[in-house]
Amino acid sequence: MLNINCLNCGVRNYAGDETCTSCGANLTLKPSPVIQTDSQEWQPQVDPDRPHPGIAPFGISNALSQTFSLFFGNLWLITKTVFVIVAPFEIFKAVSLPNVEDDWQFTAWTFFLAAASKVLVAPALIYAIMKILQTGRSPGIHESYSWGLTKLAKLSLCALFSWILQGLGYVLLIIPGIIVGLALAVVYPVAVLEKGSVAEALGRSAELTRGHRIEIFFAEIALALLLMIVTVPAGLFAAAGMFWPVTVIASIVGHILEQMGIILSLVMYLSLPRNSNRGHAVLV
């Protein structure tokens, strides 16, 4: 049956509808007829020049409340998305390398694997949350990761440059590193959801966050403090060298909770007001 894709939010509506059931946009303006096919063909559709209509305007309380709502409302989906990537790594670390924590090569290798896991999970999670926001349907794990892998190269480079820039900033008396981190607070969703080069993604994040970085700072600090209440005890529990399945479970729980940071970044990206000087952003 022919349906109409809303040009504003991407939600499918019946062919006879004149306004979108999700955002109220006019469907009579250049409608795009599509045929119902496998859900794997669905693509996240965002208007880079407009905030998402389903997300409240940016503010500290709005950003945090919507982050918690999306996280706890989709906890099982997030758990599955994290588990398939993180569990094998944590089991391998706990079983095969239990007594080499003081070795610098082991420390570097585990840091690299943890960073790689984060970069693998992020695009799949962003895809899944976007599909829920736009269609109300939860995607499968295979669907999310199949789409996320197409964004992996660009996101990996964005993450690498972000870490380098922030590291250089922290070397320069810490404050510059904080400023760079705030400027790049939404670089993950920008890299995943928008077209453009790595440099354009970094600049785009700086553009969107300009004028709102104090609010972003307090939102991130509030979330970090709340997460510390759970993740620090879980980390200490995991590092205590107890029975390895318990250690693995504690580590996986910590990874799952860390996804609140990705969701907060996505919520901020979808809610931040768009500036007029697009394409001319710098990291200040």
pLDDT in tens, 167-220: 898 888 788 889 999 999 999 999 999 988 999 999 999 999 999 999 999 999
pLDDT digits (tens, 9 = 90+) for 76-135: 999 999 999 888 877 777 776 555 555 666 666 666 777 778 889 999 999 999 999 988
Tokens 């580590």 locate to 251
3-state helix, strand and coil shares in percent for the chain, rounded to the nearest 5? 65, 5, 30
Residue 261: pLDDT over 70: yes
Judged by average pLDDT, the poorest of 39-48, 115-124, 136-145, 248-257 is 39-48
* DSSP letter for each residue of 68-91: HHHHHHTHHHHHHHHHHHHHHHHH
Q: Which residue has the higher pLDDT, 258 or 96?
A: 258
pLDDT at 92: 73
Cβ 204 vs Cβ 162: under 8 Å = no
Token match 């901020």: residue?
268
Residue found under tokens 């989709």: 74
Region 21-42: what's the mean pLDDT?
A: 55
* Summary mean pLDDT of the chain: 81
Encode 98-165 in three state secondary structure: CCCCCCHHHHHHHHHHHHHHHHHHHHHHHHHHHHHHHHCCCCCHHHHHHHHHCCHHHHHHHHHHHHHH
The percentage of residues in the chain with a pLDDT greater than 90, rounded to a whole number, is: 46
- Residue range 131-140: mean pLDDT, rounded: 91
Give per-residue pLDDT as tens, 146-163.
999 999 999 999 999 998
For residue 279, the model assigns a pLDDT of 46
pLDDT at position 237 over 90: no
Strand partners, 19: 26
**8, 26, 48, 148 from 44: Cα distances, Å:** 11, 19, 12, 11
H/E run at residue 2: strand 2-5
Please say if the pLDDT value at position 33 is more than 50.
no
Q: CA torsion, points 54, 60, 65, 71, in degrees to nearest 10?
A: 80
Average pLDDT of 38-55? 75
Average pLDDT over residues 241-263: 82
Angle between helices 104-135 and 141-149 (to 10 degrees): 110
